[in-house]
Amino acid sequence: MSDHDYKPKSKVGQWFNDRLPLLTLANHLTDYPTPKNLNYWWTFGGILTFCLITQIVTGLTLAMHYIAHADMAFESVEHIMRDVNYGWLIRYIHANGASMFFLAVYIHIFRSLFYGSYKSPREIIWILGIIIYLLMMAAAFMGYVLPWGQMSFWGATVITNLFSAIPLVGEGIVTWLWGGYSVDNPTLTRFFTLHYLIPFLILGLVVLHIWALHVPGNNNPVGIDIKKPSKDTVPFHPYIVIKDGFALLMFMIVFAFFVFYAPNILGHADNYIEANPMVTPAHIVPEWYLLPFYAILRSVPDKLLGVVAMLSAILILAVLPWLDTSKIRSAVFRPLYKQFYWILVADVLILGYVGAMPAEGLYLLIARVATAYYFLHFLVILPILGFKEKTLPVPLSITEPILGGSPNLATARNKESKIE
């Protein structure tokens, strides 16, 4: 933040900027020194901003045509699909946009895990990110309820019923959440209200997330502190803007493929059956992005403990900066952590897979082992690893290894290019 000396060129600009330093802000954002070695995993922050804006814009448009009433919601969605001009496009962008949003956020989170971006001095950025992620899950869950299909209704029933696991007050809380004695019209209208509200909360948190990022600046693949601005950095504009733009376009091609050619592949067929409280679907499954947590929930035989395990699985991430005891940020220089990292990735994918399967037999066993390993990774492996692991020598700057400093640094650089 070295741009306090910025002065607009024009008189009017100066007059305005003295009163509201928006131009200073714009200048800061364009000049913001960014490590020049950021790889494409770093482009997902920009992609996520795009996802959020897309969801808000399409969501606002849908809300103009959608009717939040148990008797009319399903029909109003069909009205959007059939009779609203390009309603099918807007709805498919919104529905698939949620999946794309989660796809991007998971890559963003796992990038952070790999390069140690959650470590000091970036703990607040990380925790804000976890809160955003939690809100995203809430928004996505409530959004899935709005079309009032079978999976909407029964998903809402299952998830809200989780609160009944709370001792003593559980049942009361569930009735209060429902606004009645079952999921019904009052539930739908309040979910709609909250689904409308949460994206704006997320937007506010995103501003804080970026603000907190701009204090220490970006982490980078080498994971070292760098001088800013220096030979190691480039101004955000145009270098990072164009790179983010390029990655965003690639992402949009995938996005467009889903919207135009496979718009329903990520959803569940049962959600095209209007909600019917008298008929329970054979398998109630959440959207794909919630499956790992669903697997954790079902792997615990006790309802209350299952809910606790599921919540802990997310909240444990918030204390990650203190569970990881290693001083080295980037996995590039942590040979052991790198292996455990990939095991964790596999573990989460396995959890996602068994989350989609019926909770019985072998699937249940796998879910239990994978759940246990998930917690083991964060609670045991990470804290111990920081003390036991022999890390590789870390370069002093980003430019140095490229220019071929000491032999050690060259090896480090080679190692890095291998993993990318």
Residues forming contacts to other proteins in the complex (CB under 8 A) are 36-37, 39-41, 75, 78-79, 81-82, 88-89, 92, 99, 103, 107, 234, 238-239, 242-243, 245-247, 249-250, 252-254, 256-257, 259-266, 268-270, 272-273, 282-283, 285, 288, 291, 349, 352-353, 356-357, 402, 420
Long-range contacts of 55-61 (CB under 8 A, 24+ apart): 55/94, 55/97, 55/98, 55/101, 55/199, 56/199, 56/200, 56/203, 58/90, 58/91, 58/93, 58/94, 58/97, 59/94, 59/195, 59/196, 59/199, 61/90
As a whole number of angstroms, the distance between CA 12 and CA 80 comes to: 47
As a whole number of angstroms, the distance between CA 235 and CA 240 comes to: 7
CA torsion 160-162-168-169 (nearest 10°) is -20
Dihedrals phi, psi of 162, to nearest 5 degrees:
-60, -30
Closer CB to other proteins, 343 or 384, in the complex: 343
Closer CB to other proteins, 86 or 176, in the complex: 86
- Distance in Å, CB of 53 to other proteins, minimum: 17
- Distance in Å, CB of 280 to other proteins, minimum: 14
- Distance in Å, CB of 258 to other proteins, minimum: 9
In order of 286, 293, 356, the CA distances from 360 in angstroms are 17, 16, 12
- Distance in Å, CB of 262 to other proteins, minimum: 8
As a whole number of angstroms, the distance between CA 237 and CA 249 comes to: 17
Closer CB to other proteins, 6 or 88, in the complex: 88
Are 125 and 212 within 8 A, CB to CB? yes
What the block records as the tokens of 259 is 């919207």
182: number of Cβ within 10 Å: 12
Closer CB to other proteins, 69 or 190, in the complex: 69
- Distance in Å, CB of 382 to other proteins, minimum: 25
- Distance in Å, CB of 31 to other proteins, minimum: 15
- Distance in Å, CB of 17 to other proteins, minimum: 28
Are 117 and 329 within 8 A, CB to CB? yes
The full 3-state SS of 180-242, as one line of letters, equals CCCCCHHHHHHHHHHHHHHHHHHHHHHHHHHHHHHCCCCCCCCCCCCCCCCCCEEEHHHHHHH
CA torsion 92-94-96-101 (nearest 10°) is 160
Closer CB to other proteins, 174 or 224, in the complex: 224
- Distance in Å, CB of 219 to other proteins, minimum: 17
As a whole number of angstroms, the distance between CA 179 and CA 169 comes to: 15
Are 37 and 222 within 8 A, CB to CB? yes
Closer CB to other proteins, 5 or 360, in the complex: 360
Closer CB to other proteins, 384 or 403, in the complex: 403
Closer CB to other proteins, 8 or 395, in the complex: 395
Are 332 and 221 within 8 A, CB to CB? yes
- The sign of the torsion formed by the CA atoms of 140, 145, 149, 154 equals positive
- The sign of the torsion formed by the CA atoms of 350, 353, 356, 362 equals negative
- Distance in Å, CB of 15 to other proteins, minimum: 34
- Distance in Å, CB of 271 to other proteins, minimum: 8
Closer CB to other proteins, 96 or 117, in the complex: 96
Residue 57 belongs to what H/E stretch? helix 44-63
Closer CB to other proteins, 224 or 285, in the complex: 285
Closer CB to other proteins, 37 or 55, in the complex: 37
Where do we find the tokens 């083991």?
376
